[in-house]
C-alpha cells in the first residue's frame, strides 16, 4: 500500500519538524499537521520564517520548500483525520500532575482524546502511528478505544518513536541513526509496517529502518532516553568526586571516552540535564517498574533523576558559598535559559531551577538568552509555584544583550552552551562587573585559562 495522505496530530517540537521532513522527502504525499492551539498553527503558517513557533537550525529552509506544496498546517483536526490514510499521534505526554501516579506516570489523556477523535471521525481504514513517547503497552489501550468506539473500520496501530534531539533535529531527521517501527506481527500489521517503511525509505537507507514488535518499539524509546540521561548523571556524580579530590572531570571524560566500549558522547559534565523528555521518560519507566513490582529496577533508574537534582542544588550551593555565603541583593547574571543550545525550548531547563533557588536567596537575576522571551521565562518560573508571581517579576529581569545583563553583576552563571557565549568580549565584561568577578560555568564551555588571565575567578564543574 502506497500512502498518499498523512495527518499528524500535534504541531509541537516533534510533529512540526518530523512532518516537515517527511513532506520534503515525499513530495507525492500530502502531509497535514493539525493542532488545537490556534496560535501555534498561525505561527507555522507565518510567511516570515523567522516566526515559526519553534527554533531549530535549518527548519525554516525545509518548511520553505514543502509548505503549501504538500505540507499544510491546520486547526481542522476532523477534516485532516477523515482525509488521511495514516495518522501520527504526536501530542504531548507530560508527567501526571494529579491522581494515581502523580509526579511519575505519563499523562495519557491527550493521547486518549486523539484515539477517541480518530475513532469517531474515521469512516475508512487507517494506520495509526504512535509518534509520542508512550509507556509500553499503550498501543493495546489505543487499539481497544479505536475498535470499541469506532465506525467498524479497520485500524492498524504502529509504534514509531522519535529519536531526534532538539537543536540538531533537522540533521537527526535527515540522517537518522535508525528509524524504529513496531507493529503487530499479523498479516495486516506487517502491511502497515511496510507502508510506513516505504514513507521513510524515500530517504533513509533500508538497513537503518528497524522493524520490531509493538512492545519492543515502545520500550526502546524509554530505554534510549534512560541510557542517555544515565550517562549524564554518571559523569555528573563523578564531577563532585573530582572537585573533592583534585581530579579533573574533563580529563576523566576524555580518558574513559577513548575506550571504544564507552565512547566519547554524552560525557560532558554540567549543571544537569533538562528538556521535556529525559526526566519525564525516566519517571515513567520508574512508575511502570514499580507498578509491576520491580522495585529494585525502579530504584535503580530513579537514582538518575535524584543525581540530576543533586547536581543542580550543588551548583547553586557552590555559587552561594563562593559568593561569601550571601547573594541577597547581589546582581547575578544568567547566560542561557533554554535547556540546551540551538533551541528555544525551556522545558525542565536547569536555568529555571537555578534562578528559583537564587531568588529564594533574594538575589537579583538578570538573564540573557538569544532565543527565549521574557514571558516564557516568567511563565517557567511561575509554573514552579514557589512564591507569588509579583516576587518573581521583582527579582527576574530579562536583558536583550549579554553586556547589559552583566553590567554591574557580582557573578555570572553559564547555564546553556550557546556558541555565542565563547565569542564575547570577556575583557569588556570583566571591566563592567563588580570585583572580584566570578564566573560559574555550568556547561564547562568557556576558556578557564583565558578568563583567569583577565582576572576572573572561574569555577567550572568537576575541577
Ligand X SMILES: NC(=O)c1ccc[n+]([C@@H]2O[C@H](COP(=O)([O-])OP(=O)(O)OC[C@H]3O[C@@H](n4cnc5c(N)ncnc54)[C@H](O)[C@@H]3O)[C@@H](O)[C@H]2O)c1
Closest residue to ligand X: CB criterion: 12
Of 6, 8, 9, 445, the one binding ligand X (CB under 6 A) is 9
Q: Which residue has the cell 486547526?
A: 75
Spacing of C-alpha 55 from chain mean position = 12
Decide if 109 contacts 91 (C-beta within 8 A): no
Rounded Cα distance, 453 and 15, in Å: 47
How far is it, in rounded angstroms, from Cα 126 to Cα 240? 52
Name which of 342 and 441 has its Cβ closer to ligand X: 342
Task: Output b/e per residue, 307-318; b: 16+ Cβ within 10 A.
Answer: bbebbbebbbee
- C-beta closer to ligand X: residue 164 or 446: 164
Q: How far is the CB of 48 from ligand X (least distance, A)?
A: 20
For residues 289 and 297, what is the distance between their CA atoms, to the nearest angstrom? 6
CB 162 within 8 A of CB 131: yes
Taking CA 409 as the corner, what is the angle to CA 406 and CA 414, rounded to the nearest 5 degrees? 60
Q: Which of 8, 22, 25, 35 binds ligand X (CB under 6 A)?
A: 35
Write the DSSP assignment of 320-370 as a string of letters.
HHHTTT--TT-EEEEE--SSSTT----TT-HHHHHHHHHHHTTPEEEEE-S
284 is a contact residue toward ligand X (CB under 6 A): no
Helix (H, G, I), strand (E, B) or coil at 293: coil
Q: Which of 7, 114, 242, 277 is catalytic?
A: 277
Number of residues that bind ligand X (CB under 6 A): 27
Closest CA to 53 of 31, 27, 32, 33: 33
* Integer Cα distance of 113 and 223 in angstroms: 26
Residue 340: what are its φ and ψ, rounded to 5°? Answer: -155, 175
The reply to whether 277 belongs to the active site is: yes
Q: How far, CA to CA in Å, does 414 sit from each of 170, 339, 348, 456? A: 26, 12, 16, 14
Cell numbers of 34, please?
493539525
**Using CB under 6 A, which residues numbered 115 to 144 contact ligand X?**
132-133
Q: Binding to ligand X by residue 201, rule CB under 6 A?
A: no
Tell me the longest C-alpha to C-alpha distance in the chain: 74
- Pick the piece of the chain touching ligand X (CB under 6 A) from 109-117, 142-150, 183-191, 197-205: 109-117
By C-beta, is 94 or 264 nearer to ligand X? 94
Nearer to ligand X, 78 or 140 (CB): 78
Which residues between 67 and 86 bind ligand X (CB under 6 A)? 77
Q: For residues 36 and 454, which CB has a smaller minimum distance to ligand X in the complex?
A: 36
52 binds ligand X (CB under 6 A): no
**110 part of the interface to ligand X, by CB under 6 A:** yes
With CB under 6 A as the contact rule, the residue among 81, 84, 164, 445 that binds ligand X is 164
CB of 246 to ligand X, least distance (A): 37
Give the angle 449-451-456 at the CA atoms, nearest 5°: 120
Binding of ligand X at residue 92 (CB under 6 A)? Answer: yes
End-to-end CA distance of the chain: 58
Which residues in 241-280 contact ligand X (CB under 6 A)?
Answer: 276-277
| 162 versus 361: smaller Cβ distance to ligand X | 162
Does residue 14 belong to the site contacting ligand X (CB under 6 A)? yes
Collect all residues with Cβ–Cβ distance below 8 Å to 196 and sequence separation of at least 6.
Answer: 3, 86, 127, 129, 158, 160, 181, 183
The β-bridge relationship of strands 179-183 and 155-159 is: antiparallel
For residue 15, state whether it binds ligand X (rule: CB under 6 A): yes
Binding mask of the shown chain, residues 334 to 373, with x at each position contacting ligand X by CB under 6 A: ----------------------------------------
Task: Kindly indicate which of the ranges 34-42, 328-336, 366-374, 378-386 contains the residues binding ligand X, using the contact rule CB under 6 A.
Answer: 34-42
Q: Does 11 bind ligand X (CB under 6 A)?
A: yes
The distance of closest approach from Cβ of residue 438 to ligand X in the complex, given in angstroms and rounded to an integer, is 33
**Contact flag: residue 91 with ligand X (CB under 6 A):** yes
180 contributes a contact to ligand X by CB under 6 A: no
Q: Does 166 bind ligand X (CB under 6 A)?
A: yes
Q: Which is nearer to ligand X, 93 or 236 (CB)?
A: 93
Stretches 9-17, 141-149, 358-366, 453-461: which one binds ligand X (CB under 6 A)? 9-17
Residue 84 or 332: which CB sits closer to ligand X? 84
**Per CB under 6 A, does 411 bind ligand X?**
no
Task: CB nearer to ligand X: give 12 or 460.
Answer: 12
Residues contributing to the site for ligand X (CB under 6 A):
9-15, 34-37, 40, 77, 90-93, 110, 113-114, 132-133, 162, 164, 166, 276-277
Residues with active-site annotation: 277
Amino acid at each position: 500500500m502506497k500512502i498518499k495522505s498523512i495527518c499528524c496530530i500535534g504541531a509541537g517540537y516533534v510533529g512540526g519538524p518530523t512532518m516537515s521532513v517527511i513532506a520534503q522527502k515525499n513530495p507525492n504525499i500530502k502531509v497535514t499537521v493539525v493542532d488545537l492551539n490556534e496560535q501555534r498553527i498561525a505561527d507555522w503558517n507565518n510567511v516570515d520564517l523567522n516566526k515559526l513557533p519553534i527554533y531549530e537550525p535549518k527548519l525554516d529552509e525545509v518548511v520553505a520548500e514543502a509548505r503549501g506544496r504538500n505540507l499544510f498546517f491546520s486547526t481542522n483536526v476532523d477534516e485532516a483525520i477523515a482525509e488521511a490514510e495514516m495518522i501520527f499521534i504526536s501530542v504531548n505526554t507530560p508527567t501526571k500532575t494529579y491522581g494515581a501516579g502523580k509526579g511519575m506516570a505519563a499523562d495519557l489523556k491527550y493521547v486518549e482524546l486523539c484515539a477517541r477523535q480518530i475513532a469517531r471521525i474515521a469512516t475508512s481504514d487507517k494506520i495509526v502511528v504512535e509518534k509520542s513517547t508512550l509507556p509500553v503497552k499503550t498501543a493495546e489501550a489505543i487499539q481497544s478505544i479505536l475498535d470499541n468506539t469506532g465506525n467498524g473500520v479497520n485500524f492498524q496501530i504502529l509504534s514509531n518513536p522519535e529519536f531526534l534531539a532538539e537543536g540538531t533535529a533537522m540533521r537527526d531527521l535527515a540522517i537518522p541513526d535508525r528509524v524504529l517501527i513496531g507493529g503487530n506481527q499479523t498479516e495486516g500489521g506487517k502491511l502497515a509496517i511496510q507502508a510506513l517503511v516505504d514513507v521513510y525509505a524515500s530517504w533513509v537507507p533500508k538497513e537503518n529502518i528497524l522493524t520490531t514488535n509493538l512492545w519492543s518499539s515502545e520500550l526502546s524509546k524509554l530505554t534510549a532516553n534512560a541510557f542517555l540521561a544515565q550517562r549524564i548523571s554518571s559523569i555528573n556524580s563523578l564531577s563532585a568526586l573530582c572537585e573533592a579530590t583534585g581530579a579533573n572531570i574533563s580529563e576523566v571524560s576524555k580518558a574513559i571516552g577513548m575506550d571504544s566500549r564507552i565512547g566519547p558522547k554524552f560525557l560532558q559534565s554540567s549543571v544537569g540535564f533538562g528538556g521535556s523528555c529525559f526526566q519525564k521518560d525516566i519517571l515513567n519507566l520508574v512508575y511502570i517498574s514499580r507498578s509491576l513490582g520491580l522495585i529494585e529496577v525502579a530504584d535503580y533508574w530513579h537514582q538518575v533523576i535524584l543525581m540530576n537534582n543533586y547536581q543542580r542544588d550543588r551548583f547553586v550551593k557552590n555559587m552561594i558559598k563562593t559568593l561569601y555565603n550571601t547573594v541577597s541583593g547581589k546582581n547575578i547574571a544568567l547566560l542561557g535559559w533554554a535547556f540546551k543550545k540551538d533551541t528555544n525550548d525551556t522545558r525542565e531547563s536547569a536555568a529555571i531551577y537555578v534562578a528559583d533557588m537564587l531568588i529564594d536567596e533574594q538575589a537579583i537575576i538578570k538573564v540573557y538568552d538569544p532565543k527565549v522571551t521574557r514571558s516564557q521565562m516568567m511563565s517557567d518560573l511561575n509554573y514552579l509555584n514557589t512564591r507569588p508571581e509579583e516576587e518573581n517579576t521583582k527579582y527576574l529581569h530579562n536583558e536583550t544583550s549579554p553586556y547589559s545583563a552583566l553590567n554591574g553583576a557580582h557573578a555570572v552563571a553559564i547555564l546553556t552552551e550557546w556558541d555565542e557565549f565563547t565569542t564575547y568580549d570577556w575583557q569588556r565584561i570583566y571591566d563592567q562587573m563588580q570585583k572580584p568577578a566570578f564566573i560559574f560555568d555550568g556547561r564547562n564551555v568557556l576558556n578557564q585559562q583565558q578568563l583567569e588571565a583577565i582576572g576572573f575567578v572561574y569555577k567550572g564543574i568537576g575541577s
